[in-house]
Amino acid sequence: MGLVLPLIVTLGALLAPLGIGYGAEVVLKETVMGKEYRIEKVDGEPGNFWVYWGEEKDKWEPRVWQPKELKEQGPIFYYNMGKKLGEEEKRFPISAVKLMREDIITATQFHDAYFTNNMLPNYMNTFQDNFFAELYNVKGKRLTMGGFEFMKQYRQAIDYPEGEPQRKYVFVQNEPEESSGVGMVQIVYMGAKADDNFLYLPAVRKVRRLAVASVQDYIARSIVRNEDNALSKPQPTQEYKWTGESGLCKYRGKEYPGHGTAADGLLYQNDPNYKGEDHTWVEGIGEPGRIMEVVSKDPGWWYGKQVRLFGLLTGYPWQEDTYDQKGRLIRQMVTNQGIYVAGFKDPRFHWGTIKGIEQSTGFSNRIYSFNIGLDLGIPDDFFQEKTLLKELKDLNAWR
Amino acid sequence: MEKEEYTMKKNIKRTISFLIFCFLLVPWGVDAFELGPFDASFYLLNQTYIRAWHGPDDIMQSRNEFNFELTYSEIPHTTFFINLRPFYDAVYDIEDEGTGGNARHLRSGWAHNLIRNDDRDPFLRECYLDYHLKSTDIRLGRQIVAWGKSDGVYMLDIINPFNYRNPSEFKEELTRIPLWMLNVNQGICDYGTFQLLWIFDKYRSNMFPGFRISQDGYHDWTFNTVTLSNELYVIFDDFFKNALGIPEGYPVVFREPAHNFKNSKFGARWSGLWKGFSYTLNYFYTWSDPFDWPNTGLAATSYAIKRRADRISVFGLSLDKYFEKPLNGVVRLETAYTKNMPFYLPDTNLQERDQIGYMLGYDRWVHKDWLLSFQLWQNFILDPVHHKNAYVGFGATEFDFNTFTVANGLIDPIVSNLTAYLAHDGFFMGDTGHVEFFFLNNLNEGYKWFWTKFRYELTDQINLAIGMNFFWGNEDDLFGQFHDNDNIFFEIKYGFI
């Protein structure tokens, strides 16, 4: 007996690099940004996994709101989904995510090329969806906003000619009733050239050219600001950098009564407006992430620093913390992604929900997306003023 | 007195019945998806205007509207849309001064649109079919089309006439008069869009209180010149009948253009984008508002008035562009050339002249989230008789029977106005507080108009607003004549999608 135990230990040590440990089955072993990323099943706990990245170790457990593929596969799901999107189905030439993972793109370039908070359109030529937002104050008063949007991409490379259209958008708001029918066409250009914005107001039945609004302004009925929007390009007053640190995406954040937590994936399964597959989503827990810091050089900016965590396998912006100039946490956002999209055989990520809490005001916010359409061939001439004059009623407006 | 009380009570019951009717129409607890394949939305709106500073403290308007919209878009490439908007102005039941005090003369034309007043405030407001295929969009039916890039200046924005029941109503959507028309838009590659309009509706014009002589100047918003005309026609009619013994009196006969293809209105517009300029080229073949032509061709010898509209042509251009530093704003330009527009001379004869107008505007954000906008608007009547006090404006109040001329309220052939607009949408939680300020200053006669409104979104469904209007100037100019109409107004709106 005295000899058997050391023999087992020695065998274990020899076999460990091969992914065979003390009864722990290794599901995945990859090198990500120079560190070993490993997923192992937890002994005696089916459905649970250990996730390792370098020295970091965390336990992954399935959650009730997660889709069955994620619950069944565990965190290797991110690797499978990210690889499928990023390498096998390259519909769009740029993979800012791949470039980030290979560390050959600056944080500024990544921010410019990336589709903030909604990674999927990075891979698709056109995107459309309905969106719906809820804003709550500390007393639970609720305000909502909804509408639909269309997007088309034009950027073919990271270094695309300055002044060329990068993306074009049409937004139409359809609730609340007072704002119903308000529409906007936005053309985002490469480089410093200012966006073209056209606003349709039902009250006057006209399209108005808009001056570029302050990126610090709130988007109505949300805690999201124009700067957070995918439409916003890198700001000259901000410094974007990859920090030396990165880590596994984790659950964190305190509980807010009635609203759940900002930083975990628990959402309101009993929400009567949303049913079925759209209600399942993922939140990146267990995926290795890279951290970008955005520091404002303007002492009057609405924040001093933002810390963003991007999944290195999927590219999703799972978490973001915002601090004021004194280092106080003023906002937390998480992005949850759904995985079923109409028209595709296999599950794939789509923009699920953005959730956030603004500590400085006590407001919390949820923004949903549904009725997603990808690469449906929206024509180029749809993204013009005349589209707004038609007073679009739904997502089929361009067909 | 008893009869008046009975009538007042009956009318109040009618008002309450209307509101209950609207209440029952509201799909309480029902959302749009439960209306089968239709998308629906509605709102209930009350707008109450109170004259608070001059004259009697009376209610000028207490308008209750129910707006209902239904959309059906299950058929590919096609959308059907209908908008109903019944209204009832309770001022005729609850007020015995001003507009309300003259209910006997005004009710039939201005109190409601239930089976009446389709020419100014229709119950069936819009009803059209949209068909879209590739680059072609066709809209057929009763609709509203707005041209131009101006705010509150109507040079190119003349496709749909306006209902001037309350000239201080800022929300144009509430006062435009929809028309039956065919509206075709064809995209031409990447160059732009060509629009053709064929308006086959009956003749429709801007509608002013006092259009009927019997309405005199009873309505609070009757323009002085309209009141003056109505009173003069009554005087002439009485003179012809009683002094001259002519039984026909001095008739004013309104002959609308016949409703046929030849009398349709036609519009064409090209719109495109060129070097950052968003531009349009416009042409509209239309009818003027009705003008009062002396039947002999000369006012002094006339014995009747032919109220008729004239054919006019409008050629126009509009463009806008965003300029970066140092302007950091949008510059807008709109210009229109109108051929053969009639104008009243001081001797009340009419003269047709061409006119050209332009608007130059500038919009930018200031202090992060305030929108500031300026407009300079000038209008030139070409080849005028005189260069000062050449034509009769909207404010005339006096007629000199010795010289047989309008004695005041005359305007110059060149009219210049400056406007300023300031707005903020970002007050309170969720940007639910909105404030607007508007100021107009006339550079010729010095009249001014100030409008402001604060709106608060109490909930997703309920909006509350309070606002004010102030007018300055002489009694015989465009806005000075409404000085006694300085008012405070309230709005409450319940909307549901």
Across A95-99, B14-18, B212-216, the highest mean pLDDT is recorded for B212-216
Q: Say yes or no for a CB contact (<8 Å) between B278 and A198.
A: yes
Binned at pLDDT 50, 70 and 90, residue A275 comes out as very low
User: Which residue out of B363, B431, B462, B496 would a mutagenesis test of the A interface target, given it has the greatest number of A Cβ atoms within 10 Å?
Assistant: B431
B-proximal residues of A, 207-226, CB under 8 Å: 208-214, 216-218, 220-222
Chain A residues in contact with B39 (beta carbon < 8 A): 393-394
Chain A residues in contact with B425 (beta carbon < 8 A): 220
Which tens digit of pLDDT belongs to each residue from A286-338?
Answer: 899 899 999 999 999 999 999 988 888 888 888 888 999 999 999 988 887 77
ipTM of the complex: 0.90
Whole-number Å distance between alpha carbons of B447 and B371:
25
Tell me which chain A residue has its CA closest to the CA of residue B431: A220
A-proximal residues of B, 404-463, CB under 8 Å: 425-426, 429-432, 457, 459-461, 463
- Residue A123 in this model has a pLDDT that exceeds 90: no
Tell me which chain B residue has its CA closest to the CA of residue A393: B71
Cβ burial of A98 (10 Å; 0-12, 13-18, 19+) is: middle
pLDDT of residue B341: 96
Rounded mean pLDDT, B307-319:
97
Provide the token pair at A105: 């793109």
Chain A residues in contact with B139 (beta carbon < 8 A): 390
Q: Say yes or no for a CB contact (<8 Å) between B369 and A396.
A: no
Q: Say yes or no for a CB contact (<8 Å) between B368 and A216.
A: yes
- Chain A to chain B Cβ contacts (< 8 Å): 141
pLDDT of residue A89: 57
- Residue A348 in this model has a pLDDT that exceeds 90: no
User: Does B34 touch chain A if contact means CB atoms closer than 8 Å?
Assistant: no
User: Does B81 touch chain A if contact means CB atoms closer than 8 Å?
Assistant: yes
Across A119-128, A171-180, B307-316, B364-373, the highest mean pLDDT is recorded for B307-316
- Least confident range of A262-266, B13-17, B86-90: A262-266
Q: Do the Cβ atoms of A311 and A86 come closer than 8 Å?
A: no
Of A178, A211, A386, the CB nearest to B322: A211
Of B39, B173, B322, the CB nearest to A209: B322
Tell me which chain A residue has its CA closest to the CA of residue B187: A381
Provide the token pair at A159: 């270094």
pLDDT of residue A354: 83
A-proximal residues of B, 175-204, CB under 8 Å: 176, 185, 187, 190, 193
pLDDT of residue B427: 84
Chain B residues in contact with A175 (beta carbon < 8 A): 460, 497
Q: B375 vs chain A: nearest CA distance in angstroms?
A: 14
3-state secondary structure chain A: CCCHHHHHHHHHHHHHHHCECCCCEEEEEEEECCEEEEEEECCCCCCCEEEEECCEEEEECCCCCCCHHHHHHCCHHHHHHHHHHHHHCCCCCCCHHHHHHCCCCCHHHHHHHCCCCCCHHHHCCEEEEEEEEEEECCCCCEEEEEEEEEEEECCCCCCCCCCCEEEEEEEEEEECHHHCCCEEEEEEECCCCCCEEEEEECCCCEEEEECCCCCCCECCCCCCEHHHCCCCCCCCCEEEEEEEEEEECCCCCCEECCCEECCCCCCCCCCCCCCHHHHCCECCCCCEEEEEEEEECCCCCCCCEEEEEEECCCCCEEEEEEECCCCCEEEEEEEEEECCCCCCCCCCCEEEEEEEEECCCCEEEEEEEEEEEECCCCCHHHCCHHHHHCCCCCHHHHC
Whole-number Å distance between alpha carbons of A396 and A169:
15
Binned at pLDDT 50, 70 and 90, residue B180 comes out as very high
Strand partners, B448: B441, B472
Whole-number Å distance between alpha carbons of A206 and A183:
10
User: Does B257 touch chain A if contact means CB atoms closer than 8 Å?
Assistant: no
Q: Say yes or no for a CB contact (<8 Å) between B322 and A381.
A: no
Chain A residues in contact with B321 (beta carbon < 8 A): 209
Please state, rounded to an integer, the average pLDDT across all residues of chain B: 92
**pLDDT > 90 in chain B, percent:** 82
Whole-number Å distance between alpha carbons of A222 and B9:
48
Neighbouring C-beta atoms of residue A44, cutoff 10 Å: 7
Whole-number Å distance between alpha carbons of B317 and B192:
15
Chain B residues in contact with A384 (beta carbon < 8 A): 187, 193, 273
Q: Say yes or no for a CB contact (<8 Å) between B329 and A211.
A: yes
Q: B450 vs chain A: nearest CA distance in angstroms?
A: 19
Sequence-ordered list of residues with C-beta below 8 angstroms from that of B305, at least 6 positions apart, any chain:
B233, B250, B251, B252, B253, B292, B293, B294, B295
pLDDT of residue A397: 80
Q: B277 vs chain A: nearest CA distance in angstroms?
A: 10
Q: Say yes or no for a CB contact (<8 Å) between B278 and A385.
A: yes
Whole-Å CA distances, A35 to A31, A81, B486: 5, 20, 75
- Residue B182 in this model has a pLDDT that exceeds 90: yes
Residue A150's region, left for phi above 0, alpha for psi from -120 to 50, else beta, is: beta
DSSP run (H or E) holding B379: strand B370-381
Whole-number Å distance between alpha carbons of B307 and B291:
5
Phi, psi dihedrals of residue B359, rounded to the nearest 5°: -130, 130
Chain B residues in contact with A217 (beta carbon < 8 A): 368-369, 426
Chain centroid offset of residue A381 CA = 28
Which tens digit of pLDDT belongs to each residue from B61-118?
Answer: 999 999 999 999 889 899 999 999 999 999 999 999 899 999 999 999 999 999 999 9
Are β-strands B305-308 and B252-255 bridged in parallel, bridged antiparallel, or unpaired?
parallel
User: Does B289 touch chain A if contact means CB atoms closer than 8 Å?
Assistant: no
Of B146, B426, B496, the CB nearest to A177: B496
Are β-strands B179-188 and B136-143 bridged in parallel, bridged antiparallel, or unpaired?
antiparallel
Binned at pLDDT 50, 70 and 90, residue A252 comes out as low
pLDDT of residue A300: 92
User: Does B367 touch chain A if contact means CB atoms closer than 8 Å?
Assistant: no
Strand partners, A256: A260
Of A180, A206, A386, the CB nearest to B497: A180
User: Which residue out of A154, A367, A384 would a mutagenesis test of the B interface target, given it has the greatest number of B Cβ atoms within 10 Å?
Assistant: A384
User: Does A79 touch chain B if contact means CB atoms closer than 8 Å?
Assistant: no
Q: Say yes or no for a CB contact (<8 Å) between B432 and A196.
A: no
> Which DSSP string corresponds to B251-276?
-EEEEPPPSSGGG-EEEEEEEEEETT
Whole-number Å distance between alpha carbons of B26 and B14:
19
User: B150: closest CA among B334, B380, B299, B296?
Assistant: B334
User: Does B1 touch chain A if contact means CB atoms closer than 8 Å?
Assistant: no
pLDDT of residue A21: 46
Of B144, B149, B276, the CB nearest to A205: B144
- DSSP state, residue B242: I
User: Does A369 touch chain B if contact means CB atoms closer than 8 Å?
Assistant: no
Phi, psi dihedrals of residue A302, rounded to the nearest 5°: -70, -15
Q: Say yes or no for a CB contact (<8 Å) between A211 and B364.
A: yes
Which tens digit of pLDDT belongs to each residue from B258-292?
Answer: 999 999 999 999 999 999 899 999 999 999 999 99
B-proximal residues of A, 91-150, CB under 8 Å: 135, 137, 141-144
Q: Say yes or no for a CB contact (<8 Å) between B365 and A214.
A: yes
Binned at pLDDT 50, 70 and 90, residue B33 comes out as very low
This prediction has a pTM of 0.88
- Residue A104 in this model has a pLDDT that exceeds 80: yes
pLDDT of residue A273: 44
Q: Do the Cβ atoms of B58 and B51 come closer than 8 Å?
A: yes
User: Does B271 touch chain A if contact means CB atoms closer than 8 Å?
Assistant: yes
User: Which residue out of A132, A381, A382, A399 would a mutagenesis test of the B interface target, given it has the greatest number of B Cβ atoms within 10 Å?
Assistant: A381
- DSSP state, residue B477: S
Whole-number Å distance between alpha carbons of B101 and A174:
41
Rounded mean pLDDT, A154-170:
88
- Residue B490 in this model has a pLDDT that exceeds 90: yes
Residue A371's region, left for phi above 0, alpha for psi from -120 to 50, else beta, is: left
Neighbouring C-beta atoms of residue A219, cutoff 10 Å: 18
Q: Say yes or no for a CB contact (<8 Å) between A143 and B463.
A: no
**In this structure, which long-range contacts are made by residues B336-340, counting pairs with CB atoms below 8 Å and at least 24 apart in sequence?**
B336/B155, B336/B156, B336/B282, B338/B312, B338/B313, B338/B314, B339/B312, B339/B313, B339/B314, B339/B315, B340/B310, B340/B311, B340/B312, B340/B313
- Residue A118 in this model has a pLDDT that exceeds 70: no
Whole-number Å distance between alpha carbons of A174 and A131:
10
Q: Which amino acid is at B468?
A: M
Of B190, B330, B429, the CB nearest to A211: B330
Strand partners, B97: none
Chain A residues in contact with B330 (beta carbon < 8 A): 208-211
User: B333: closest CA among B414, B272, B277?
Assistant: B277
Provide the token pair at B426: 């970002």
